[in-house]
Structure 1
Amino acid sequence: MKKNFLAISLLSVAGLFSTATLASDIVPAEQQKQAILIQNATIHTAANGVIENGDMLFDNGRIVEIGQDLTSNSAQIIDLTGKHVYPGLIALSTSLGLVEVNAVKESVDNREVGFVNPQLSPAVAYNADSEIIPTVRRNGVTYAQVIPSGNGIAGQSIVVNLDSWNVDDALVKTGLEMNLYWPSIRWASSNPKIYKQQLDNQNKQIKEVYQAFEDGYRYFLASKAGDDVEGNKALASMLPLFEGKGQLYVHANKQKQIEQAIAIARKYKFKLVIVGGYDAWRVATSINEIGAKVIYTNVFGLPQRNDDPVDQAFKVPSLLKQAGVPFALAIKADWNTRNLPFAAGQTVSHGLSKEEALKAITADAADILNLKDIGSLQKGYKASFVITQGDLLDQAEGKVEQLYIDGRKVDLNNRHNQLYQKYLKR
């Protein structure tokens, strides 16, 4: 019987690792019990610019008011003179909670065998106690989109808040998010015979993708017509895509791959998000025509063509901005997700403004996920934010001092900090 990554519990490896290795001992924060008014901060709203000497009142996990000279008779007052307040960062396209130690296969639970697995969801495998999560949180990340890895139609993704007891506590409600890794040749052989075999295999996989969606479409039509369709979990899981209630995330970088993804989206009227997107700016017109979006994951990447400028990967976000393509930034990783604010900061020296860079990891990321109450600081939104000393996007200056998720003050301790303190005493 094949091993289903979504049916595996991390308890199965308890005999191989100590409890300390498997689970973080950081206790999730309690629900907010009293209204809090922060005053005199530089508030980066990611929606309505920057408020100097700004105040923000929040209660029951929501922002009640934001502006200047706010008052409250019942709220706890926190003076943040000289500090900065940012929306909590949103990490897209991560494997957080699915991967603990890459070199130890028993702690890697992020993929399934097979080429067409639309029914799979990381929710069953997500480990809210991962030691990696507190280290990522320490740099201001409050929410994450957790995706499966693999080939072909790899399954669905989930969105979680990064301070929770378990997956049920962590889940943030979104529509269906289906992930398709577009078939590609990773390393093209210089041997003509082997290269032909690679091309043949790639074309075969592309046909499988088209056939899977055609099967899903026929199932949709039969279901819509009220026919007594045979229960097929894989095909049934595709229904929200055809009903317009979900999004198809196509992981692709090259122009031809992106054009093929656009062709599928046109045919079935899918809502499309390109993940990777190195060449997305080259087909900006087509992307805009169908209302697609891009999650750009190559901010720290290298040129993907021999004749590309050495800084081509760094400039793509500004090229997307100039072309009017809606996009967000991401680092496709687990522990390395903690570098998300610095990836955004790097784009500032390659064409984006600081406000645009911040929005690309907050408000614009929330927009791609169709989440309307996170990603920016404004009235009615969740009180998920970061308090820093200095510029959050600057690795040399930004120092996160406090972090709140849904109005709850999160413990910023983590394994890295614990080891640092330990060896200071050596």
Structure 2
Amino acid sequence: MINGHIKIGSSLSGVLKNSLALPFVMLSTFIMPVQAHDILPAPVQTSAILFKHATIHTAVDGVKADSDLLIEDGNIMAIGKELVAPEATVYDASGKHIYPGLIALDTSLGLVEVEMMRPSNDSHEVGEINPQLEALTAFNPDSEIIPTVRVNGISHAQIVPRGESLAGQSALVSLDSWTVEEAIVPTQTAFHLYWPRLKPLPSDTKKREEQRKDYQDRVSQISDAFTDGYRYYLAHKAETKSKLDMRWQSMLPLYRGEAQLFVHANTQKQIEEAAALAKRYQFKLIIVGGYDAWRLAELLNEIEAKVIYTRTLSLPMRKDEPIEMSFKIPALLKQAQVPFALGFSSDWNSRNLPLAAGQTVAYGLSREDALKSITLDAAKILGVEDMGAIAVGYRANLVISGGDILDPMVTKIEKVYIDGRDVDLNNRQQQLYQKYLKR
């Protein structure tokens, strides 16, 4: 934000929402045209669909073999054997698997088109204390990347602003829509704070002290920001505030307990300091990253914190740790009874979310818990109660596949339904494959 202006990049949709809250809105001049795919969003479901004889992975009530599933008006209406629906279109799902649509957490989908080209990267904003900024205003529902991700069974994504400190607010979006407004899925307000990290200290005494001071200064800046926000909240509550400050005004739901604070932190020191901040103000805390979270299970459970673990396919953070350490942490979190979900901090690479979940199965997590970590548990962390599972009353977000969705070698995804709408799985990569196949 520069002089009260917001820079909005990939999408103009949704800007009106912020223009009501901020004094000025500036639309950036593009150096390159916005990339947009030519795949039509699916029409609204108009007739019921009855899937027959499928293996249904409910994520809430186990696996139901040779079962039927009825969806209508975008919702799941019935699950069972030998269901009858005379007006429904029948889909023979014999030998097929039906899963809930996957939810990708901590992504920059629709915010980034080409990572190395600044005009197409709208995941960051200038300044360090920007709680009032909303990633949704820069979301591009026509991004070429989105169809390449949903073909892997991902129906929804949490789009998250990036930054050095208090970066702004995230949103949950559908990955098939005409506009930003159509894409939005209502969730609790979510603020994102990137906790500073104290890097390995050098041997030089002077440089070591400089590094420690820099770290402490950054932590103090965060503390001061939340103190100022709390004072503003008290003044607002007492109706004595002298002027409107959009930064602290946006944070009122956080102090009222109506929003969640997502703190991006991996090391034990970072997580302990983030937990202390949340405890001081009674914030609802979500740790994103969470590499050392299992070591602090007692602390996190005490304040009812949750974790979005994002390092499943990463190397260990420390040289003296086993090479498989990153793979084992979800199972360790489960053993420690810390509520968690899996995320994949990326844009195009978030397509590997089911692979990451599958990797955890090989290192101690049950197959059912691995599926829940990218469906039901992900929805619960965001405060959404009707997504992430195949159950009566839930949204009809479904993936039809020929094999195990957690194993990319055998998955063979055939259909993706979002709110009962049959989504076109064509994408730029498949188009290029077909093009050069005929060369």
TM category (shorter chain) comes to: over 0.9
* Counterparts of 2:194 and 2:345, CA distance in 1: 13
Q: Which amino acid aligns with 2:32?
A: L
Indicate whether 1:359 and 2:372 are aligned.
yes
1:2 aligned partner: 2
Q: Which amino acid aligns with 2:179?
A: N
* Counterparts of 2:339 and 2:253, CA distance in 1: 23
Q: Is the Cα–Cα contact under 8 Å of residues 302 and 310 in structure 1 kept in the other structure?
A: yes
* Counterparts of 1:273 and 1:10, CA distance in 2: 28
* Pairing of 1:4-83 with structure 2 (within 5 A): 6-8=7-9, 16-17=32-33, 22-83=35-96
* Counterparts of 1:195 and 1:165, CA distance in 2: 52
Q: What CA deviation, in whole Å up to 9, does each residue of 1:218-242 have, x standing for no partner?
A: 1111111222441110001111111
Indicate whether 1:89 and 2:102 are aligned.
yes
Partner SS for 2:234: helix
Change (3 A) 1:13 1:420: farther
* Counterparts of 2:71 and 2:347, CA distance in 1: 31
Q: What CA deviation, in whole Å up to 9, does each residue of 1:312-350 have, x standing for no partner?
A: 111000000000000000110000000000100000000
Deviation (angstroms), 1:115: 1.3
1:318 aligned partner: 331
* Counterparts of 1:258 and 1:228, CA distance in 2: 33
Q: Which amino acid aligns with 2:228?
A: D
Indicate whether 1:296 and 2:312 are aligned.
no
1:373 aligned partner: 386
* Pairing of 1:318-357 with structure 2 (within 5 A): 318-357=331-370
Q: What CA deviation, in whole Å up to 9, does each residue of 1:11-63 have, x standing for no partner?
A: 8565624x7xx101111000001011111000000000000011111111000
Change (3 A) 1:15 1:199: closer
1:125 aligned partner: 138
Q: Is the Cα–Cα contact under 8 Å of residues 5 and 109 in structure 1 kept in the other structure?
A: no
Q: 1:262 aligns with which of 264, 267, 275?
A: 275
Residue identity (%): 53
Partner SS for 1:401: strand
Q: What CA deviation, in whole Å up to 9, does each residue of 1:382-426 have, x standing for no partner?
A: 000100011000021111100000000000000000000001001
Change (3 A) 1:124 1:81: same
Q: Which amino acid aligns with 1:103?
A: M
Partner SS for 2:52: strand
Q: 2:159 aligns with which of 146, 156, 164?
A: 146
Change (3 A) 1:260 1:109: same
* Counterparts of 1:105 and 1:14, CA distance in 2: 10
Q: Which amino acid aligns with 1:269?
A: Q
Partner SS for 1:180: strand
* Counterparts of 1:77 and 1:14, CA distance in 2: 48
The farther-off stretch of 83-92 and 103-112 is: 103-112
Deviation (angstroms), 1:2: 3.4
Partner SS for 2:8: coil
* Counterparts of 1:366 and 1:246, CA distance in 2: 15
* Counterparts of 2:274 and 2:138, CA distance in 1: 28
Q: Which amino acid aligns with 2:73?
A: N
Q: Is the Cα–Cα contact under 8 Å of residues 184 and 202 in structure 1 kept in the other structure?
A: yes
Deviation (angstroms), 1:204: 0.4
Change (3 A) 1:15 1:285: closer
Deviation (angstroms), 1:7: 3.0
Q: What CA deviation, in whole Å up to 9, does each residue of 1:111-161 have, x standing for no partner?
A: 111111110101111100000000000000001000000111011101100
Q: What CA deviation, in whole Å up to 9, does each residue of 1:168-209 have, x standing for no partner?
A: 110111111000000114565454433322221110010011
Q: Which amino acid aligns with 2:260?
A: Q
Change (3 A) 1:144 1:6: farther
* Counterparts of 1:241 and 1:229, CA distance in 2: 21
Q: What CA deviation, in whole Å up to 9, does each residue of 1:257-315 have, x standing for no partner?
A: 10001101111000000000000000000100111000000001111112211111110
2:214 aligned partner: 201
Deviation (angstroms), 1:6: 4.1
* Counterparts of 1:302 and 1:249, CA distance in 2: 23
Q: Which amino acid aligns with 1:202?
A: Y
Indicate whether 1:105 and 2:118 are aligned.
yes
Q: Is the Cα–Cα contact under 8 Å of residues 96 and 133 in structure 1 kept in the other structure?
A: yes
Change (3 A) 1:46 1:233: same
Change (3 A) 1:168 1:203: same
The farther-off stretch of 38-47 and 194-203 is: 194-203
Q: Is the Cα–Cα contact under 8 Å of residues 42 and 422 in structure 2 kept in the other structure?
A: yes
Q: Which amino acid aligns with 1:419?
A: L
* Counterparts of 1:400 and 1:326, CA distance in 2: 29
Q: 1:164 aligns with which of 166, 177, 186?
A: 177
Indicate whether 1:219 and 2:235 are aligned.
no
1:391 aligned partner: 404
Change (3 A) 1:144 1:282: same
Q: Is the Cα–Cα contact under 8 Å of residues 6 and 120 in structure 1 kept in the other structure?
A: no
Q: Which runs of 5+ in 2 are unaligned?
A: 13-27
* Counterparts of 1:400 and 1:340, CA distance in 2: 14
The farther-off stretch of 104-113 and 180-189 is: 180-189
Q: Which runs of 5+ in 1 are unaligned?
A: none
Deviation (angstroms), 1:103: 1.5
Partner SS for 1:106: helix
1:233 aligned partner: 246
Q: What CA deviation, in whole Å up to 9, does each residue of 1:342-376 have, x standing for no partner?
A: 10000000001110100000000001001000000
